[in-house]
Chains A and B, each alone.
Chain A
Amino acid sequence: MKDIFTGLFSKVFGFFRQTEQVEENAKDTAVNRLRVVLMQDRTNLTPELLEKMRGELIELLSKYVEMDKEALELNFEQEGNQMALMLSIPVLRAKDEDEIEDAEDEENEVCEDESSEENDSEEALDEENNENSEEQEENPSDAENESNTNTKHSKSK
């Protein structure tokens, strides 16, 4: 009896739904939600961890290249049975050897002088990067927001 009613309901509901234009259908929503949740299940990698990894990768890579940090993408992709971590880095320009050496020197100084670590790191990294890393370390709520947008991003893919 219940089945008949729910069946009828979904038919009527489905009829009205078909008449109006819906942006994303139930099937696509299911597929996209599943993709995201399975990536997390399979890897045990939460959105928070993924965001942390993103932050650290930016820090490491910006020693060698100048990049568009906003456009950097870090996502999981499935190719057959193989899961791949895809990192897409829009490179603005590669840094020359002197710059890399400078960065390394400053890094070493940071390690030596632990008491004024924060000040040193501010000098060591360029402004953009500094903003980014501060967000990561000092505002966990911000990091969470970012990770949310990241999830949405991978959904839309």
Chain B
Amino acid sequence: MSGRVIVITSGKGGVGKTTTNANIGTALARAGKKVVMIDTDLGLRNLDLLLGLENRIVYTIVDVVEERCKLKQALVKDKKNPNLCLLAAAQTRDKTAVTEEQLKNICEELQKDFDFILVDCPAGIEQGFQNAVAGATEAIVVTTPEMSAVRDADRIIGLLEAKEEIKSYKLLLNRVRPNLIKSNDMMSVEDVVEILSAELIGIIPEDTGIITSTNKGDPIVNDENALAGQAYNNVAKRIIGEDVPFLNLEEDTGVLAKVKKFFSKMIGKEN
């Protein structure tokens, strides 16, 4: 087995890299794939929180490279899904604690046992980014329909294109607000795709459910009724190679529409 190594990156902070990582990883695992997530944000780790695994971490990636433990010992299994593992970042060290070469070796080692290795990249374009990208052959660039996020995504795309190892990169547009797009207050999905001229792999609507799911340490893909959860599930399917149409976000997402949807689902089940 030789797993795919996908780095999830964005340039700008706070656009939803870690959330994306947690959700795509969980969705892939739910689809029966063996998945390991690597948090490379040394000193600012958060992926463990989003997965609700913060109390289970014994060893970190730094312990692995400094040979205080075996790689397999450092992998933390997810609570719900045995297909899913996390290799946590060290919280007390900085970006220099792991080198590009070391990360590359870890990815190569993990490729033998897992279908997917998702690398959570820190914000910025410095060494942390270089490290995270080192072992990857694919990338997902997360951005939002905001100017600063798009500009930073463009920088990241430029850097990714310069890397021979990265064979493909795709764009994930996060925190899309259909109402604002409708009123011409926000750039549309088409605008961003055209400006960055990158292939789209997912459109994730802004969803307050993300906040509660983060608070609970339970990724939103586990909630089948959440729109953002469905959107992330679709991203995972596209990664696997399924041809899934993008969600129609234009539809009314008001309370009334939700009630309607609920009832139509009930009727659907009875039939």
Contacts and interface: CB of A to CB of B under 8 A. Distances in A.
Interface string B33-70: 00000000000000000000000000000000000000
Given A34-B147, A41-B151, A42-B154, A26 B186 contact: yes
Interface string A20-34: 000001111011011
Contacts of A42: 154, 158
Nearest to A33: B147
B183 A34 contact: no
A131 B170 CA distance: 50
Interface string B161-201: 00000000000000000000101111110010001010000
Interface string A70-92: 00000000101100000000000
Interface string B216-229: 00000000000000
Main secondary structure of the interface of A (DSSP, over half): helix
Given A31-B191, A34-B195, A81-B197, A25 B154 contact: no
Nearest to B188: A27
Contacts, number: 43
- Determine the interface band of chain A, counting residues with CB < 8 A from chain B: 10 to 19
A30 B151 CA distance: 11
Nearest to A80: B197
B197 A31 contact: no
Contacts of A18: 183
Given A31-B195, A33-B147, A41 B155 contact: yes
Nearest to B185: A26
Contacts of B154: 38, 41-42
B85 interface: no
Given A38-B195, A42-B158, A14 B151 contact: no
Given A27-B191, A38-B151, A42-B154, A78 B184 contact: no
Nearest to A11: B179
A37 B147 CA distance: 10
A1 to B, nearest CB: 14
Contacts of B183: 14, 18
A18 B185 CA distance: 11
B141 interface: no
A34 B151 contact: yes
B260 to A, nearest CB: 23
Contacts of A81: 197
A42 B147 CA distance: 15
